């Protein structure tokens, strides 16, 4: 079984792709990119999808931040909560041709303007909706308004060098915002976790191991809460961050719904170098980390001229 180096910087994951905390992603500077022109068309697609699914009342005007005030009461029986149902509708939306066309245009513009070189990108992005109040996904150990499901994609099999992108579509602040850890703190924490968990190489679910690692020490958990702060970004301004950085959400205690789009880009040379091993690498959702599966066949800079599949 592969073991960590003395510095805890690299260990093989259960899937065989190295977990390397040394390789930095080429995050643009500044790491916030103006993509405001995409907010209105994305919002329109979301509005139409939710109305057509009967997930919201017909008198909703399309203001995503007020979405919680117009959710149909009957939807609370679907998967346990309104939030679960709304997110199910949004997951289906990301597969539709009109959405994919807009998403491809967004990825291409971001790549050309801010990300040098060729990149592959996530085929199906995630639209994340967080309503105010208790959530079905809240973990028992998470206090109200505190972080839940904090993690770094590097531990989930994603390659070192990957860029994560968060595009808020609402003005989310405080507990409704994405919480993001500093790079230095995140890397130090990941190295300590890897050094103390050689069983990660055969672990069925690294998420459970990492959650137990965080909650097993009150001091460590307090440090995470202190470092992972709300990342307040105006709607339409994409925040790009390193795959090694901790991030997560908290129970939304604000008076507004938070909606955003998240996706990932990987330099083509890194994807091709890991492709053989990544063919057997699965995300926690069971997706293979290769082009034509988790990643689109299309390169990011060519996405605006491609036809979504």
In the 3-class helix/strand/coil scheme, how is 143-207 assigned residue by residue? CCCCEEEEECHHHHCCCCCCEEEEEECCCCCHHHCCEECCHHHHHHHHHHHHHHCHHHHHCCCHH
User: Among 65-79, 191-205, 214-228, 249-263, whose mean pLDDT is lowest?
Assistant: 65-79
Residues 199, 209 contacting (CB under 8 angstroms): yes
Domain spans, the chain:
21-305
Mean pLDDT for the chain overall: 85
And the tokens for 180?
């993001």
Mean pLDDT of 263-288: 80
SS3 13: coil
- The pLDDT assigned to 234 comes to 93
pLDDT tens digits, 280-295 = 666 766 778 889 999 9
- The pLDDT assigned to 286 comes to 74
Band (pLDDT 50/70/90 cuts) for residue 3 is very low
- The pLDDT assigned to 262 comes to 97
Q: Which residues contact 222 (CB under 8 A, 6 or more apart)?
A: none
Residues 64, 176 contacting (CB under 8 angstroms): no
**What span, in angstroms and rounded, lies between the C-alpha atoms of 44 and 82?**
20
Helical segments of 94-133, H only: 97-114
**What span, in angstroms and rounded, lies between the C-alpha atoms of 102 and 43?**
11
**What span, in angstroms and rounded, lies between the C-alpha atoms of 192 and 141?**
22
pLDDT tens digits, 22-77 = 999 999 999 999 999 999 999 999 999 999 999 999 999 999 999 999 987 544 44
pLDDT tens digits, 136-190 = 444 444 556 677 778 999 988 889 999 999 999 999 889 899 999 999 999 999 9
The CATH class of 21-305 is mainly beta
């Amino acid at each position: 079984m592969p073991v960590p180096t003395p510095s805890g910087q690299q260990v093989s994951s259960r899937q065989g792709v190295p977990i390397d905390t040394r390789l930095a992603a080429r995050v643009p500077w500044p790491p916030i990119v103006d993509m405001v022109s995409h907010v209105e068309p994305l919002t329109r697609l979301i509005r139409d999808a939710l109305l057509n699914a009967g997930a919201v009342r017909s008198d909703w005007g399309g203001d995503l931040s007020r979405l919680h005030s117009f959710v149909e009461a009957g939807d609370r029986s679907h998967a346990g909560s309104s939030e679960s149902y709304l997110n199910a509708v949004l997951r289906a939306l990301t597969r539709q041709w009109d959405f994919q066309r807009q998403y491809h245009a967004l990825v291409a513009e971001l790549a050309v303007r801010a990300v040098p070189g060729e990149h592959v990108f996530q085929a199906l992005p995630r639209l994340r909706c967080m309503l105010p109040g208790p959530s079905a996904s809240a973990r028992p150990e998470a206090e109200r308004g505190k972080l839940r499901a904090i993690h770094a994609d590097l531990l989930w099999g994603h390659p070192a060098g990957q860029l994560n992108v968060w595009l808020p579509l609402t003005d989310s602040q405080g507990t409704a915002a994405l919480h993001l850890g500093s790079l230095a703190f995140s890397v130090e924490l990941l190295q300590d976790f890897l050094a103390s968990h050689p069983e990660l190489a055969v672990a069925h679910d690294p998420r459970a191991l990492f959650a137990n690692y965080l909650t097993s020490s009150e001091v460590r958990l307090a440090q995470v809460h202190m470092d992972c702060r709300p990342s307040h970004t105006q709607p339409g301004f994409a925040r790009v961050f390193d795959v090694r950085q901790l991030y997560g959400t908290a129970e939304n205690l604000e008076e507004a719904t938070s909606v955003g789009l998240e996706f990932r880009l990987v330099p083509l040379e890194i994807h091709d170098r890991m492709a053989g091993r990544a063919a057997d690498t699965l995300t926690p959702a069971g997706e293979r980390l290769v082009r034509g599966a988790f990643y689109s066949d299309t390169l990011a800079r060519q996405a605006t001229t491609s036809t979504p599949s």
